[in-house]
Chains A and B, each alone.
Chain A
């Protein structure tokens, strides 16, 4: 199966130097599970990369490695030089907010931990809340918000430090479809305004096609890169794109690749 990785289209790599690269990265947990096996992957600046795959393919592990919440067993991650330590924002699967703190305080938190006072943080926090359309909810506490609103707070919190890379671990998986569509649109809008690099973990073909400029299809047991696809559709993408034939065709192709990745997993079983 590893040969298949080689025949992926990597013409995009010939452009700018990648922002970060996985160089033969492997991760084995103490219980013997190989979460990642010899992963080579380069993320360009400004890319919207989706890691798509079945559970157990190591996509979340890859995200944790990028965030430096975990270290690889073999190989290494290479960052472009002159990137500070806090160039990464992280959005978890759950909103993961401080339940006792107001929306404002939750978004302020990353700045607060860097020693920025409430007064000095106010303009940045309020601007970020406006970006996610929550400027009127600064004083609310999380339990007063809906699931979608909580996720917006979570995104605002990740973005308030102006990270170069935004990492998202299935952030909308628990939301209903209508809310998810809305948040997908808002996320793309934010991405186009701020021009950050996005790495988005998902198991939804439709979501990954709608959002990404690139989809990395992963296979499980052991977790590895199965296919690296460029999504050939221009931005901005809106509701019209969601119903276009281009979108349907891209989804079909991605879906086929995902099925192939799942089959590869079945074959790999002893």
Chain B
């Protein structure tokens, strides 16, 4: 655990090599992906130039960036619509997932009775369920939300259920010994113990709620004023407006990355003091 003070400690060749190796790996983990990315974009640009590809088939990266700038008002208002669905469905997934998990944790019988239905809902492709939702639900936003929710809630439910059930036996005995009520055991023991599992599920659900929102919009095929990025992509596809299609795609990817990073940060902040997963590896 003690940090090595390089100024005062004379390192033997083996240790020095290890320190050098670690430093290189640290730099490499940032530089290498960036370098590959730059190289790939450059190669993409060259392919367009060398083969004389028209921009409605494959636009040059510069054109895409230009489109991102020119179409900003349109694209960002669509992004906002997609974000709204994504976050609302994520919030509902958290409420539904954790709520159901807590309900399951109250009794083995409830869990045995209802968990299979959650699995059925999860394994049936959402694209196949959507026509039904389309018939039964009128409100456009509600349709999309329901769709994204079905995709996103399962990892939270399944992980939180696992977490609530994997409490140290002795700790449960300790709570029983001290006359803890069911509610106290849930609040002071089971929920905190389930936190790492829940956060793991949340990371998956964050990405899935974005995918759910986009897929839902694809199948719903909305158009007009209040339409999200998926509609922009369909629209651009019909009009052979490849630069805008790429621009919308990049926005979706970036959103996904930001969601993942934000949830990873949240997880790290909550777990850093006590959970193994958040601890720095010892040399």
Which residues of A approach B to under 8 Å, CB–CB? 67-69, 85-86, 88, 90, 92-94, 96, 98-101, 109-110, 112-114, 141-143, 161
Contact = CB atoms under 8 A, between A and B. Distances in A.
Interface of B: 168, 170-171, 173-180, 184, 188-189, 192, 195, 273-275, 279
A237 B182 CA distance: 43
B179 A114 contact: yes
Residue among A68, A86, A109, A112 with max Cβ neighbours from chain B (10 Å): A109
Contacts, number: 53
Contacts of A69: 173, 176-177
B274 A142 contact: yes
B184 A98 contact: no
A108 B174 CA distance: 13
B273 A100 contact: yes
B171 to A, nearest CB: 6
Given A98-B189, A113-B179, 13 more contacts: A86-B179, A96-B171, A96-B174, A98-B188, A100-B195, A100-B274, A100-B275, A109-B174, A110-B178, A112-B188, A113-B180, A143-B274, A161-B178
A77 B188 CA distance: 31
Contacts of A99: 274-275
Contact of A141 (B170, B176, B184, B273): B273
Contacts of B176: 69
Say whether chain B's binding surface is mostly helix, strand, loop, or mixed: helix
A142 B189 CA distance: 15
Among all A-B residue pairs, the 10 with the closest Cβ atoms: A96-B170, A113-B178, A92-B170, A99-B274, A100-B274, A110-B178, A113-B180, A100-B192, A141-B274, A141-B273
6 contacts: A69-B177, A85-B179, A90-B174, A100-B274, A101-B192, A114-B179
Contacts of A94: 170
A96 B168 contact: yes
B170 A109 contact: no
Given A96-B171, A98-B189, A67 B177 contact: yes
A94 B179 CA distance: 21
B274 A109 contact: no
Given A109-B178, A113-B179, A113-B188, A90 B195 contact: no
Nearest to A89: B177
Contacts of B173: 67, 69, 90, 92
Contact of A109 (B179, B188, B273, B275): B188
A98 B192 contact: yes
A169 B178 CA distance: 17
A100 B190 CA distance: 12
A113 B184 contact: yes
Contacts of A142: 274
Contacts of A143: 274, 279
B26 to A, nearest CB: 25
A109 B175 CA distance: 9
Nearest to A86: B179
Contacts of A92: 170, 173-174
Nearest to A142: B274
A141 B275 CA distance: 11
Contacts of B279: 143
Nearest to B196: A100
A112 B189 CA distance: 13
